[in-house]
Amino acid sequence: MIELFDAQAGFGGGRRGQPWVPTAQELLGHMERLSMARALVRTDFEEMDSDPMFSNRLLYEACAQHECLVPCPTVLPTGHGDVPSEREQIAELVARGSGAATLRPGQDGWSTAEWCAGTLLGLLEERRIPVLCRHSVLGFEAVADLAGRHPGLPIVMFHVGYRSQRTLVSLMKAFANVFLSVGSPYSVHLGIESMADHVGAERLLFGTGFPYAEPMASITMLTYSDLSDADKQLVGSGNLDRLIGGIRR
């Protein structure tokens, strides 16, 4: 049986036109029903999340109550002085047992340029903390720029659609520090197998896309893929365990 560690899940945020705010308990219910062992969790939906530090506190509190939930807090540069320093944010991230950090520059009003985010990105790279980047927030060119400037920084792209496969393969061939979560809406026919052939199964992470998607579809895609059992286990949890294990705490 494949151990599943969801790299692409979240709860607690709001969405325009959507009265439902997903809760940790709802995610935990899906995890129990579908035998998912752990989940790396962010604030999601994120569209109406305007106070990342407050949301991080709520995220940390929820994860502290459930060992199977691993926090992935939002981090951002502190040039304006309205949030704790980059070093303080990362120190708390590490102290709280986080497995990665979320970058969302457009949402939180900052630039990925070195003159704005260089300190933050440098500290994340120094600690080898994986960063999660939603494709609609950081596109291929932006990710390539980050990956080239910070080659020791593991970058996990998620929410990548099926029409991006050609560019995605080229990006991941060019930058060994770029990884892919294969959660919804990644629904390429034989896409997991193709990516494993081109860049290796060790660059792929299992994800569901909850709360934007029901988790079962992603589990089915991995379970019934043509990957070997060993590669399925890598994608299911081994690769994310390796990235989290590489964090310099």
C-alpha torsion angle, residues 203, 205, 209, 213 (rounded to 10): 100
User: Residue 79: pLDDT above 90?
Assistant: no
What per-residue confidence (pLDDT) applies to 209? Answer: 97
What per-residue confidence (pLDDT) applies to 71? Answer: 98
User: Residue 151: pLDDT above 90?
Assistant: yes
**Residue whose C-alpha is closest to residue 181's, from 8, 56, 54, 9:** 8
* Pairing state between β 69-71 and 131-134: unpaired
Read off the pLDDT of each residue in 222-231 and give the average, rounded to a whole number: 97
Structural domain boundaries in the chain: 5-245
What percent of the chain clears pLDDT 70, i.e. is strictly above it? Answer: 100
Residues 53-69 as b/e (b if ≥16 CB within 10 A, e otherwise) read eebbeebbebbeebebb
pLDDT band at residue 1 using 50, 70 and 90 as cut-offs = confident
Read off the pLDDT of each residue in 57-78 and give the average, rounded to a whole number: 98
| Half-sphere CA count of 108, side-chain side, radius 13 A | 24
pTM of the predicted structure, to 2 decimals: 0.97
From residue 140, alpha-carbon distances to 108, 125, 164, 210, 217 in Å are: 19, 19, 9, 23, 25
- pLDDT, tens digit, for every residue of 192-212? 999 999 999 999 999 999 999
Asked: is 5-245 a CATH 3.20.20.140 domain? The reply is yes
